[in-house]
Chains A and B, each alone.
Chain A
Amino acid sequence: MKFVAVTSCPTGIAHTYMAAEALEQAAADSGDEMHVETQGSAGSDPLDPQIIADADAVIFAADVEVRDRERFAGKPLVQSGVKRAIGGAAQMLDEARAAAAAGPPAGDAAPAAAGGGGLATKVDSGAGLGTRLRQWLMTGVSYVIPFVAAGGLLIALSFALGGYLITTAPKIADAGFDPGSMQSWARLLFEIGGVAFSFLVPILAGFIAFAMADRPALVPGIVGGYIAGQVGAGFLGGLVAGLLAGAVVLGIRKIKVPRSVAGIMPVVVIPLVSTLIVGVLMVVVLGPPLAALTTGLTNWLNGLSGANKVLLGIILGLMMAFDMGGPINKTAYSFAALGLAAATPASFQIMAAVMAAGMTPPLGLALATVLRKRLFTHVEQENGKAAWVLGASFITEGAIPFAAGDPIRVIPSLMAGSAVTGALSMAFGCTSRAPHGGIFVVPLIGNPLLYLLAIVIGTVVTAFLVVTAKSFHRTPEEAADEVPATQAAAAA
């Protein structure tokens, strides 16, 4: 395997280098490739970005903050103090191998949360246009999801407290706030959540642009996204505005300017010129057709009924289970979560179906470990216990340790169960105004009992299929090298 590591210590004289040596020797002993960046006093040579990109996992053996750690965002990570690597380098390599097997950390949709340096993207500049396009969009989505979560849960809570008529209650600013009144609290939560939601499209557009062209592109992206909302071009308009802003800034950057002007380019000239261009295009040229398209799409989704609605539930269910937290899962999820801003019955049904379908993979596997213990290793049985909690919390990633070890049998079973649940949730007309929360937001869900029924049926389908598939040519020993969920979670 290929590893990269960063070592650092308070003085930067001794332990930094000893840890580097120990890690290199351990890797040489086990026949792995290891590149270490020593962030010590002898100056550090930053690792080649290509080497980082190729690495299967990252090891931080550091007692002080790793410099520029956003370079490693999204990689499976093992970290400890510097001394641990000196004494137990081989063990850390084993952990890194386990982390690599468990895949990228579950929380990698929000690379900036990793701390350290400023904002970050996961865009790989060497990749093809298709891959980069996806990475640009996913960067935007990753920054929007916290807004969705905060705003969506506040609004859902406000409905739980004050009922659905809270939307038409008088504004706090007009009626005043009464701390003793439940209605007043509900209205307050509703308004705060609404403010968070109003940022969805601007932030989405801003960070798509940011992923493409870095900081100067934030302004035209956010402004363009806001305009998209104003002209009624919604989520689609935001995507276009973000991509447009990124492209405009990239274009301006290509223009050669005299050295005297170069200093003010990123701070003044680029934001000014690019915002003007994006603004004009969004208001005058692209806005109207995008608004028409959005209206059409919304009407289509609202008009879906019967078989079509169920079909949509099936497709979303398949997507949610296919890669358990990967890009396809996140695409389906963002479709649903960003749709909440539209606040139409159809969007609430889609959100409910997506959430239910994302819960059944870990739940189904957990059930399977209980039903047929002998088909699972001891480690998998332990994973099963964690999977109950992860599934109930709508953390689809809880299924990864099972799928990583036996993808051919596990993933199709998960997809089938999620498709059933997605279809049933749509057919039952369940609605969710909350973008996340799993079982804990069931009280906020429309038709909660049928919703639970949909989840239970999908869970049983998944468990039944996994057990059946594993009963053929499968012994627990085969899975002995799988990764426990605790380690997958630690890698996050």
Chain B
Amino acid sequence: MSEVITADLVDLDLKAADRQSASRQLAERLVKAGRVTDIEGFLADIAKRESQMPTGLEGGIGIPHCRSAHVTEASLAFGRAKEGVDFGAPDGPADIIFLIAAPEGGDASHMKILASLARRLIRAQFKETLRSVKDPAEAAEFIRKEVS
């Protein structure tokens, strides 16, 4: 099984006007990596989840996510947006954005990785490192190490 995140799935200088645009840019990276087959279908699934309850969390985090038939393997795309993107959190826009793509009926080991990412997002140290990390490869490696 391949890694959940690689350097080409990281955008440390994400510029997006809104959450749809941020999700689309990160989703394009997943399409390029062959992890998402149909970008429109995938984004529709993301939007559907987002409409149930915004995924923005206090502390500058946005985690658009879904289970989708258009996802081939569990994947993460990480975007850092200096200006922030509104994900509906009560305390303002998010600068740390994880697009979480889970295949329909994904296998347990991948789901565990996504679960541990979610747990890490609560920890201040994890967020600090992501805010200060310098290049995409370093970011991808740090995330992989943390969630494995």
Contacts and interface: CB of A to CB of B under 8 A. Distances in A.
Nearest to B98: A14
Interface string B103-121: 0001010011011111111
B80 interface: no
B52 interface: yes
A161 B52 CA distance: 52
Given A10-B53, A14-B55, A18-B57, A43 B108 contact: yes
Contacts of B58: 86-87
Contact of A41 (B49, B53, B67): B67
B134 interface: no
B145 interface: no
Contacts of B57: 18, 83, 86-87
Given A14-B100, A40-B115, A87-B90, 9 more contacts: A10-B49, A13-B65, A13-B118, A15-B118, A18-B57, A40-B111, A42-B112, A81-B53, A86-B122
Contacts of B65: 11, 13-14
Contact of B123 (A13, A14, A21, A41): A21
A18 B112 CA distance: 13
A46 to B, nearest CB: 16
9 contacts: A10-B53, A11-B67, A14-B55, A16-B118, A21-B122, A41-B102, A42-B111, A83-B53, A86-B122
Contacts of A83: 53, 57
Contacts of A38: 115
Identify the interface centre among A13, A15, A16, A25: most chain B CB within 10 Å of its CB.
A13
Contact of A14 (B52, B112, B114): B114
Contacts of A25: 122-123
Interface in B42-74: 49, 52-53, 55, 57-58, 63, 65-67
* B49, B90, B100, B122: residue with the most chain A Cβ atoms closer than 10 Å: B122
B49 A17 contact: no
Given A10-B49, A86-B122, A87-B58, A17 B116 contact: yes
A20 interface: yes
B111 A14 contact: no
Given A18-B122, A21-B122, A21-B123, A63 B115 contact: no
Contacts of B118: 13-18, 21
Closest 5 CB pairs of A and B: A17-B118, A42-B111, A21-B119, A21-B122, A17-B115
Nearest to B90: A87
A17 B100 CA distance: 14
Interface in B62-102: 63, 65-67, 90, 100, 102
A42 B114 contact: yes
B119 A13 contact: no
Contacts of B114: 13-14, 17, 41-42
A18 B61 CA distance: 12
Interface of A: 10-11, 13-18, 20-22, 25, 38, 40-43, 63, 81, 83, 86-87
A81 B114 CA distance: 21
A249 B75 CA distance: 52
Given A11-B67, A14-B63, A18-B57, A42 B108 contact: yes
Contacts of A86: 57-58, 122
B119 A17 contact: yes
A22 B58 CA distance: 12
B73 to A, nearest CB: 14
A289 B8 CA distance: 84
Contacts of B67: 11, 13, 41
A41 B119 contact: no
B137 to A, nearest CB: 25
A40 B90 CA distance: 24
A13 B111 contact: yes
A488 to B, nearest CB: 29
B121 A18 contact: yes
Contacts of A10: 49, 52-53
Chain B CB within 10 A, most for which of A14, A20, A42: A14
Nearest to A41: B111
- Among A25, A42, A81, A83, residue most surrounded by chain B Cβ atoms (within 10 Å): A42
Nearest to B59: A87
A22 B116 CA distance: 13
Contacts of B106: 41
A43 B121 CA distance: 20
Contacts of A14: 55, 63, 65, 100, 114, 117-118, 121
Contacts of B55: 14
B113 to A, nearest CB: 9
A16 B112 CA distance: 12
Most interface-central of A21, A25, A40, A63 (chain B CB within 10 A):
A21
Nearest to A18: B118
Contacts of B90: 87
B53 A63 contact: yes
Best-buried of B53, B65, B67 by chain A (most CB within 10 Å): B53
Contacts of B108: 42-43
A16 B118 CA distance: 8
Contacts of A21: 118-123
Nearest to A25: B122
Nearest to B105: A41
A124 B53 CA distance: 39
A15 B49 CA distance: 12
Contacts of A41: 67, 102, 106, 111, 114-115
B115 A42 contact: yes
Residue in B114, B119, B123 with the greatest tally of chain A CB atoms within 10 Å: B119
A38 B108 CA distance: 14
B119 A20 contact: yes
A170 to B, nearest CB: 59
Nearest to B56: A83
Contacts of B120: 21
